[in-house]
Amino acid sequence: MKAFIQNSLVAAALALNTTNLFAQTYNILHNFGGIYRDGSAPLTDLVLNSNTLYGTTASGGTNYNGTIFKINTDGSGYGNLASFTNGSPEGGGMLLIGSILYGTTYNGGSADGGSVFKINIDGSGFKTLHNFSTTLPSFPGTNSDGNRPQGDLITDGNTLYGTAEYGGTNGSGTIFKINVDESGFTVIKTFSATYLGTNNVSGNPLASGTNTDGARPIGGLVLDGSTLYGTTYHGGTSNGVVFAMQTDGSGYTVLKYFPSINGVGTNNDGAAPVAGLTLNGDTLYGVTVGGGAGARGNVFKLKTNGESFASLHDFNYTNDGGLPHNTLFLDGGTLYGTTAAGGISNKGTIFMILTNGSNFVVLKNFDMVCGSQCDSKFVLSSNVLFGTAANGGTNGGGVVFGLTVLPQIVSDGNFGIQSNAFGFDVTGISNQVAVVEACTNLFSPDWLPLQTNTTTGGTTYFSDAHWTNYPGRYYRLRSP
């Protein structure tokens, strides 16, 4: 009986590995850089409206400052809505309200401090809503309203909320709001100055230091009722913070201080969160670009009250990637994200991980052919994740891509024999059909359907109580 059990487990494991290997299809919808006026280097998130994707590029276009483009989800209909004349978008994705897109430029505007803009989805009505002011010529540079907005805008329907990485009265960045009718621009949070100090070895001033509330908010905000959640890249006790505050500017609270790193760059919790957060119920999910056990960042979770912080995955760079810059995308109980580097070609990866920290899987390794430097958050249509990569592709100017993700068998604690039955968890993007099938001979397979599942984004358990009736049984998932 012992040998019989081992053989059955090997057979099931073989089916599992085969399923994971072929569980996704990567398609390039558009290659940038062939015609410079089309744009180049898409750095920001896409916006999905029906079957049309909208996005921006950081360079190219008729004025060489980037473009606003659209493309259908099947790759057809690519076109430019506008070319930026002054300033380029280098981080903040656009936001769609009705038929109007809102976004930011990292630089440019009347004072070269960046701007907030709007444009209709047909390309008409481009207008600047706010120009961020110049900073005083002192390090790190101060002003009244902030400077260099990078994070995605969010809205409650009438008001836009965003972050500026620099500026403010202390030069450490700001959180701002502005009404969609372009009235009421207000700074609702100014981050405090950081203690610069000196390097104990070189004696040179440190580029960044510590404070009580964080500094340099790069990622976008999350809105839940009247509460905003976000991150800072620097400041706090060492390496940035997770924070919460009210939309009227009150109640600012640090939920998490990221600790210092040791001489080889590692710690337990991660360091320097660049991306924004993802909210599910009372739990926030995010990534860091440094620290962790592998010194290449991690995936973490944290309750909205600041309790129960946990590192879900530490990146090791070689096998799974490292330096994740983009906000995680949540579908049911599964998180999807990218890394900016590492993986097989050292150009980054696309990964998935369950919200409980299990079943980390690399879905795609980037390279210079398919694209690299994916900093954008995914958008989902059916079972296809759409995103952008700022470099690579046929012309070297980056790509728009779609990754089709099919259901998978999960390698977790439920895989194996339980209560005299053999079973495993099945996961997949929500509302996909996943049929578990079995056969007894891979050389002449006669696949028998055993269970049909509709995936939820989390896990569904499959159990085969009749597995002992066969000398060996192989399992696979089929998505009709």
Region 261-277: mean pLDDT is 95
Mapped onto helix, strand or coil, the DSSP state of residue 15 is helix
The 10s digit of each residue's pLDDT in 279-304 is: 999 999 999 999 999 999 999 999 99
Helices (H) and strands (E) in the chain, counts: 1, 35
Look up tokens 């836009």; give the residue: 160
Report the predicted TM-score, pTM, of the whole model to 2 decimal places. 0.92
pLDDT band at 334 (very low <50, low <70, confident <90, very high): very high
Asked if 66 and 57 touch (Cβ cutoff 8 Å), the reply is yes
Whole-angstrom distance, CA of residue 325 vs CA of residue 339? 7
pLDDT for the residue numbered 34: 76
Whole-angstrom distance, CA of residue 405 vs CA of residue 429? 7
Whole-angstrom distance, CA of residue 27 vs CA of residue 29? 6
The 10s digit of each residue's pLDDT in 391-448 is: 999 999 999 999 999 898 888 889 999 888 999 999 999 999 999 999 998 888 999 9
Angle at alpha carbon of residue 140, lines to 138 and 142, rounded to 5°: 70
Q: 89: closest CA among 102, 98, 72?
A: 102
Measured between alpha carbons, how far apart are the two ends of the chain, in Å?
Answer: 36
Region 52-76: mean pLDDT is 95
Whole-angstrom distance, CA of residue 309 vs CA of residue 303? 7
The 10s digit of each residue's pLDDT in 206-220 is: 445 789 999 999 999
Whole-angstrom distance, CA of residue 175 vs CA of residue 163? 4
CA dihedral 153, 155, 160, 161 (to 10 degrees): -60
